[in-house]
Structure 1
Amino acid sequence: MVLRDLEATHDRRVRLLILGCSAALTVLGLFVFFAFLMGGRWINCLFGSPIWIVGLVGGYLVRRGQMRAAALVMIFSLYAIFFAIALFGDGPTPEIPRVTHLCMIPLAFGSYIGLKREKAWLRNGFFLLCLGTVVLFANTNFAIDVGLFLPDPLHKFVDFIISAGAMGVLYFMLLVYISDVGRIEHYLHVANNQFVSLVSGMFPQVIAERLLAKQHTFAERHSNCSVLFADIVGFTNLTERMSPEKLVGILSDVFLQFDRCVEESGLTKIKTIGDAYMVASGIPEPDPGHAEKMIAFALRMLDVVKQFPDIDLRIGIASGDLVAGVIGQSRRVYDVWGDVVNLASRIESMGTAGRVQVCETTYALTKQDFNFTERSGLTIKGKSGTHNLYLVNREFGSLGPGAV
């Protein structure tokens, strides 16, 4: 969007510059032609003819949509006109210096606009040619008298008009460049803010700042963390009973409230996978209360889904060590890996609808803060032997008796 806007602005500017130069050359050329015609200076009349002819040709090419040809014709014709006037019509005298070559300065800057899309050697070469011509005429009195020199009073007036016009056009060119710099700075500022906002929304603040500062991937080991998996029970049945639009709308509302709870609890959302929601605590910064915070968050999730009659959750939590980081080249995300991640997923799939189930490590860390119901002698896929899992009860206190 920004690049298209800049390109469109450049095209409009080139078009206006060419049309402006065409109109100016046409008016100036005709004025010179008839002025000298009325004064009987026929050779000056002939000299003024190419000026208005170039003006008409430039306008014609613009109307035909041939912008590149119009720019090239206008730029090189202006150089030839200014060079010819400086050499044949603006002979310096002790009282009146030559000034026509000053027109080469704004022409040099203007060519950078008109030749923007040309090859670098042409754009830079023409710029240096114009400046070199200025240096040449400023340091020599060389001129060829072919009968075009003006009498002193008229010469002074014409030189004043030429020098004032050259400086005026140069001032206009500087304003154009300054406005371009300001516009580009504004676009860069807006784009940078949008990029930072996007990255900050995709990653935790600490990770976003790290990526923006160093701009490379990383993966680090973290100890004492907790991972939560939450899954909507009977999601397949919901997809059969609801339209896709309604189902996505409900998921969006549910996950939006989960996101708010994550931020308020100081946890880290990892990702959503279909109807599954994954959260971690204790990363990217250590948190001694990672397990307690995760269970409290899980209970809030159950409270949230009570607002949605068709939605019920099964939640699993595991605690331990893991690796977290950002890897890959495209579609980067902050993700976690490790046995504790797999365990949390297995515990969730073995859970009960409307309940939070935790592993033995999470239970050991939080048994003084929450009431649990033990499920003993369970086999977990990928784990040898039997294990105990624990369902979180709403009441606070010691471990509840019995097993489910």
Structure 2
Amino acid sequence: MSDLSPTEVVEIEICRRPIFVVGSQRSGTTILASSLRHHGALWYSTEGYILNEIFGPERLDETYAVARLNLNRWLAREGVTREEFLERMGLGFNVLLSSRSGGKRWIEKTPENSLMIEVLGTMFPGACFIHILRDGRGAVNSMVNKRTAPGWVTDITWACRAWRRYVDAALEYAASHPDRCLTVRYEELVADPEEGFEAIYQFIGVPYDRAPMDFFRTHRTSSSFRRRIRSRSSHEALADLWDVWPLQFKRIFLEDAGVAMLRYGMVSEEEMQQMVEDARDPSDESPSWTEELEGYRSRRDLAAVVERGVPRDAVMLVVSKGDERLLELGDREAWHFPRDEDGGHPGYHPADSEEAIARLEWLRARGAEYLVFPEGSLWWLEHYTGFRDHLAARYPRVVDELDKCMIYGLQSVRQVPTA
């Protein structure tokens, strides 16, 4: 008779609060993780390059979705939720790293993890993330000048888009999970390691330890800056780096990363204007990135006006031309105007004022409280004169900034005098 029981209880060790260091390539992820390994409570070995290779940014979700579609499949029949599925997938990796960490909290550092950070957050529900954010000019320059880099990394277009893609993913997660993801500016960490590491310790919940910051000060990875540039402050070094780039590099960078630099607060408006001047080519009076920058500024100004003039729990209609980015207005619920029955933009403008009025009142009856005309849609008020008169007669203007936007309040209806 076999002495094997149907099930067996096995004790395993896992780390309940692992740490992931994320960020784009050449942003300082290696030196940060290598420094943190010198903390008495933490353990780090080297880059894993495992999670992304096995699970990928969307591979787990695709596998789960396909399996749940078939009611005869195990996941569907047993009612396994996405959260349960992802967490169990992470358990094996956790056991593996915990078997080497000597009881300490382990750190995983692979740049590609940035692209699946939301999935990792579910796979490791107790994990925290440290996102190290480096100025795009420094990161891109380091990518294209890394001596051991494969040939494709020398493509500055690829480098700019990679930096933006990794940073977008990490910052989006940080914005929606501020209690789980801390963003650390690389340049600020270099300028003041003491303050930077203290903030990291507080966030991940470990006591003060001087060893990681001492290691960071003395072992920073080799810089791609020239020796003259390395001797200056981070801000000066980045400005000098920009000055020595050829015109083509500057123009590619502004096209693929210019908006991101403004959005992330890495340059001021004045600095961006100077960068635009530096990249000007007399033979190209209207480069593509000019429109992108202006579009971003317009959306940023619109969001600022809405923040001042519209309550946070409001439902707004935005004359959007179908641009989803115009609906990104903080906590407020924003709908396209016009809007079809499925909640999307119908793909065309109203035929006339009568149709515009009918669509407005239909959406107002369904909960819309404000109507927003961004700068690029103010022409409606000249083209649809009947619609404009309808708004003027019935609804108050709550914001009137003709250089940015116009907003009508739809909650109360004025009494329209009868003839």
Same fold (TM over 0.5): no
TM-score by length of 1: 0.22
Question: Which has the larger share of strand?
Answer: 1
Question: Which has the larger share of helix?
Answer: 1
Give the number of the structure whose alpha-carbon radius of gyration is greater: 1
TM-score by length of 2: 0.22
